[in-house]
A and B are shown apart, each in its own frame.
Chain A
């Protein structure tokens, strides 16, 4: 079959041969493409909104707020102000005369009513064009209301999600260092880059607690403003994922000299490795920490391995495709799939960097297709060509997978089962197992034809 790759995209798609391939990336999407990419605002919103006791006000027309209302359902153990949707709902006259007055009034009213610990004000495309001075309004309201009112410069057209992460980090960084870092253990960390969509951060905190590590701030899942204000008192930053919060860690390193480690909580290897490097980091202070960590990993593994082994037997040789927002998640998923006996034949991300793709080329098997900023046409062609059994992606990819008779695992939205930690690996294995082995596929016309092809092969052979 002929694959529909746009000519201009040829170097954004490569097939792994020897592990030295590079993928052209960080490009603007081609105008007219059915791009799966989101915008700067989306990136900022995703990172900041789990801060549960802050007010999140979207300055713009209603749509930007409507589509992101509780879009990922980040969980909080306390206040849930973040799960409401606040918008200045800019109208035509605001576009003409400016929206600053309206923004001020909205902030005034909301802060009085909800008493948040801080307020984030998100800029959208149109605010960038009409030229509202977000910074000035925020400064004024900070003074008036005696809480930090922080502008997030997230005009959508200024790039993709990644620029949005950066804007979010800049906004959060204005809080860091404004609280008192007292009574914090020398064995302490901040958890960066987990959003607690399904209680993941509670799992990780539990592991760290068992190791004797204090968590100062969750950034941002189940996050609290006051924790972030004093998080410069932590001894170490743990940064998860493709750098949604990496910039913040870098800023904190520069200003407060706090080192950071990049970790991943997905899959057994990466989870255990992440805990071990934390233990290693603190071993000069707490000499038992390494032993405690080994014990923890051992106990956890004993609980999950028997079932994982069984699942592995049944999934052996099946094929997976991965298309996720950030490439770092893809690394872990490649390994996690290997763990349950499956090979990854297609892997891609919306926002991977050059470095990310080099790494992907290294860890994948020969023949694996690696793509940057793909589109539905391309993805579906590869899925069919490669005979994929399960596809891991976001909401927009789900119906495509189902139409093609391919099982699907949503690794982003709409999930209430944690996939992180050791428990998460078991959940992941179960979910993949369930969706791959579900009896419904036997009705699926695509599967029927696959079976037919196979049996005809046998006949001819």
Chain B
């Protein structure tokens, strides 16, 4: 399908071809779903909302609910205040959520609707019933990417809900980056094994990975509880897992409630998971339990057993900064050679971080790394310098097919495969799950392409 990609790389300023990012509101919608009893509300035209819901549904294979202000021409000219007020009325009358999380779209941003004052008046005149919450954030899509939207909503949650609390407590807040419910569940699992006192938000586990119960619940059992989020203002430290998607919430918590924060990578791969476990253990003075050490041991065991299939394999990887960074580190520690590393999300810090990581690992080979890039560019890079493996979201499959490269799906969105909501890539076990996928994919290709009489021994 991608035979229209020329080999020659040309400078492009004016456009994106085959984007490696999408727009802010979808990230905000996802973050809002990580609050229990929350209905995300898209303040704009209905088209955006419909796209965001479809996309999330196709990735998570779960119903995704969100309401929209349904802008029309009138609203676009005279402002969307009345639409938002009518929306809040409808929402509480019909869908009765505990909390509504409003985000903007390009349209309402450009018109310049003033969310705080519209919401304030709706609270004052009881359009928002007592005991219910309406939180909000701005998500102009012409800035940043879907990751920025997640970050803005995470910060919005803090701004609107967290309360300052001076009583001493040894408790951490964990603000996971834009990643799947499986990862959030895994991170919580590790914290529980360590017997840590923690509050995690947003938390989409139990919301977008629900079991079959025969009952359609508009508000599933999972998600961070509002009361817990409020208490996060009294924790002793916030761990922001991902600079792009979670730092802003940490900053906000410090500003509003004087809770200090640390920015860590999402615990993907050996080293990033080590750092996470260590940070928790240090802050709370807790030992690392044997179960976690064992898991680490198993991951290391797998890496050493199969190192010959990974060593020096060239990889192209694309996705969101907060997941691509630790994943690149993971690949490096497995002996692989990330050659092309790109993200669609803007931000020079991405390249800086990858550069310093390469140096730490003592690498001096040439590689390409860019932010704000697209898949057309990645395809051209691969044509110039072929790789042994491609790692990225669903849209990588076109490149993989055109160039016949083994492909492992990773990141957001994955529209055409299942499992990512349930099998984590975070934590040591998640690392095993991911790297076994990589190894098996490489072996599959070897098997396919090795003449019959030379096939590998059955045990590989």
Which of B13, B47, B141 contacts A62, CB < 8 Å? B141
Cβ-defined contact, B61 with A91, below 8 A: no
Q: Is the CB of A380 within 8 A of B22?
A: no
Q: CB distance B4 to A81 under 8 Å?
A: yes
Nearest-neighbor residue (CB-CB) of A110 within chain B: B15
B 38-61 contacts with A by CB, 8 A: 39, 41, 44-55, 57-58, 61
* Residues on B with beta carbons closer than 8 Å to the beta carbon of A88: 14-16
A198 at the interface (CB under 8 A from B): no
Return chain A residues, CB-CB under 8 Å to B58.
395, 414
Q: Would you list which residues of chain B between 117 and 175 have a CB under 8 Å from chain A?
A: 140-143, 145
Closest A residue to B149 by CB, please name it.
A63
Q: Mark A358-389, 1 if CB is under 8 A from B, else 0.
A: 00000000000000000011001000000000
Q: Does B277 contact A (CB under 8 A)?
A: no
Q: Which chain A residue has the least Cβ–Cβ distance from B68?
A: A35
Number of B residues, CB within 8 Å of A? 83
B110 and A95: CB pair below 8 A?
A: yes
User: Please, which residues of chain B bring their CB within 8 A of the CB of A414?
Assistant: 58
Residue among A85, A394, A414 with the most chain B CB within 10 A? A85
Cβ-closest chain B residue relative to A128: B76
Chain B residues contacting A29 (CB-CB under 8 Å) are 46, 68, 70
**Which residues on the A side are within 8 Å of B50 (C-beta)?**
35-39, 42, 396
The answer to whether A28 touches B70 (Cβ under 8 A) is yes
Q: Which residue of B lies closest to A101 (CB)?
A: B14
> For window 390-448 of chain A, which residues contact chain B by CB distance below 8 Å?
394-396, 398-400, 402-405, 414, 443-448
**What is the distance, in angstroms, from B170's C-beta to the closest C-beta of chain A?**
40
- Among A67, A114, A448, A449, the residue within 8 A (CB) of B22 is A67
How far is the CB of A388 from the nearest CB of chain B, in Å?
Answer: 13
A57: chain B residues at CB < 8 Å are 15
Contact between chains at B63 and A399 (CB < 8 Å): yes
B6 interface neighbour in A37, A105, A106, A113, Cβ under 8 Å? A113
Which among B2, B15, B45, B64 is the interface contact of A157 at CB below 8 angstroms?
A: B45
**Which residues of chain A have C-beta atoms less than 8 A from B39's C-beta?**
34
B1: interface (CB < 8 Å): yes
Interface size on A, residues (CB 8 A): 84
**Residues on A with beta carbons closer than 8 Å to the beta carbon of B16:** 62, 65, 85-89
Are B95 and A42 within 8 A (Cβ)?
no
Encode A152-164 as 1/0 by CB contact (under 8 A) with B.
0000111110000
Which of A64, A130, A447 is packed against the most chain B CB atoms within 10 Å? A64
Which chain B residues border A40 with CB–CB below 8 Å? 47
A31 touches B110 (CB 8 A): no
Task: Indicate if B111 sits at the interface (CB-CB under 8 A).
Answer: yes
In the assembled complex, B305 has its CB within 8 A of some CB on chain A: no
B53: which A residues are within 8 A, CB to CB? 396
B70 touches A63 (CB 8 A): no
Provide the residues of chain B in CB contact with A4, threshold 8 Å.
Answer: 94
The residue in A4, A61, A64, A91 that gathers the most chain B C-beta atoms within 10 A of its C-beta is A61
With most chain A CB atoms within 10 A of its CB, the pick from B89, B213, B214 is B214
When distances are taken between beta carbons in the complex, the residues of chain A under 8 Å from B55 are 67
CB distance from B338 to the nearest CB of A (A): 24
- Given A61-B23, A399-B57, residue A80 in contact with residue B1 (CB < 8 A): yes
Which of chain B's residues has its CB closest to A114's CB?
Answer: B4
Among B21, B83, B91, B215, max chain A CB count under 10 A is at: B215
Contacts of A380 in B (CB 8 A): 216
Contact B212 A376 (CB under 8 A): no
Given A61-B23, A114-B4, do A395 and B49 touch, yes or no (CB 8 Å)?
no
Q: In the assembled complex, how far is the CB of residue B80 from the closest CB belonging to chain A, in whole angstroms?
A: 9
Q: Which residue on A lies nearest to B43, using beta carbons?
A: A31
- Beta-carbon contact of B106 and A125 below 8 Å: yes
Please give, as numbers and ranges, the residues of chain B lying within 8 Å of A31 by CB-CB distance: 68-70, 83-84, 86-87, 90
B260 at the interface (CB under 8 A from A): no
**A377 contacts B68, C-beta separation under 8 Å:** no
Complex formed: what's the CA distance from A126 to B44 in Å? Answer: 11
Residues 54-80 of A, flagged 1 when their CB comes within 8 A of B and 0 if not, give: 000100111111111100000000011
Given the known interface contacts A6-B90, A114-B4, A129-B107, the answer about A157 and B71 at a Cβ–Cβ threshold of 8 Å is: yes
- Contact call A42/B49, Cβ cutoff below 8 A: no
Cα of A377 to Cα of B10 in the assembled complex, Å: 50
A403 to B65, CA, bound (A): 14
Give chain A nearest CB distance to B62 CB in angstroms: 5
B72 touches A (CB below 8 Å)? yes
Asked if A38 and B46 make an inter-chain contact with CB atoms under 8 angstroms apart, the answer reads yes
- The number of A-B residue pairs with CB atoms under 8 Å apart is 251
Say whether B54 contacts A125, CB under 8 Å. no
Report yes or no: A400 in contact with B21, Cβ–Cβ below 8 A: no
Taking CB atoms, residues of chain A closer than 8 Å to B210 are 403
CA distance in complex: A81, B4 (Å): 7
Distance in Å from the Cβ of B350 to the closest Cβ of chain A? Answer: 17
User: Which residues of A lie under 8 Å from residue B57 when comparing CB positions?
Assistant: 395-396, 398-399
A90 interface contact, C-beta 8 A: yes
Q: Does the CB pair B91–A89 fall under 8 Å?
A: no
Residues of chain A within 8 A (CB-CB) of B309 are none
A residues less than 8 Å from B83 (CB atoms): 31
Task: Check: A32 CB closer than 8 A to any chain B CB.
Answer: yes
Indicate if B405 sits at the interface (CB-CB under 8 A): no
CB neighbours (8 Å) of B52 from chain A are 67
Q: How far is the CA of A457 from the CA of B53 in the complex (A)?
A: 40
List B contacts of A459 (CB < 8 A): none
State how many angstroms separate the Cβ of B74 from the closest Cβ of chain A. Answer: 9
Q: In the complex, A33→B49 CA distance in Å?
A: 11
**With a CB–CB cut-off of 8 A, which chain A residues contact B214?**
403-405, 444-449
Asked if A157 contacts B51 (CB within 8 A), the reply is no
Chain A, Cβ-Cβ closest to B22: A66
A88 nearest CB neighbor, chain B only: B15
Question: Using an 8 Å CB-CB cutoff, how does the interface string of A106-148 with B read, 1 for contact, 0 for none?
Answer: 1001100110000000001110111000000000000000000
Closest Cβ of chain B to A251, distance in Å, is 24
Q: Cβ of B15 and Cβ of A63 under 8 Å apart?
A: no
Is there a chain A Cβ closer than 8 Å to B3's Cβ? yes
- Report chain A residues within 8 Å CB of B111: 129
Minimal beta-carbon separation of B114 from chain A (angstroms)? 17
How far apart are B148's CB and chain A's nearest CB, in angstroms?
A: 11
Tell me whether A277 is interfacial, beta carbon within 8 Å.
no
Chain A residues in the interface with B (C-beta under 8 A): 4, 6, 28-42, 57, 60-69, 79-81, 83-92, 94-95, 102-106, 109-110, 113-114, 124-126, 128-130, 156-160, 376-377, 380, 394-396, 398-400, 402-405, 414, 443-449
In addition to A29-B46, A31-B86, 10 A-B residue pairs with Cβ atoms within 8 Å of each other are A6-B94, A30-B86, A62-B145, A92-B142, A103-B14, A125-B106, A380-B216, A395-B57, A400-B216, A446-B215
Q: Provide 26 A-B residue pairs closer than 8 Å at the C-beta atoms, listed in order of the A residue.
A: A30-B86, A32-B67, A32-B70, A34-B39, A34-B65, A34-B67, A36-B50, A38-B46, A39-B45, A57-B15, A62-B344, A64-B51, A66-B21, A67-B52, A80-B4, A83-B398, A86-B15, A89-B16, A91-B143, A102-B14, A104-B14, A114-B4, A124-B106, A129-B76, A156-B45, A403-B216
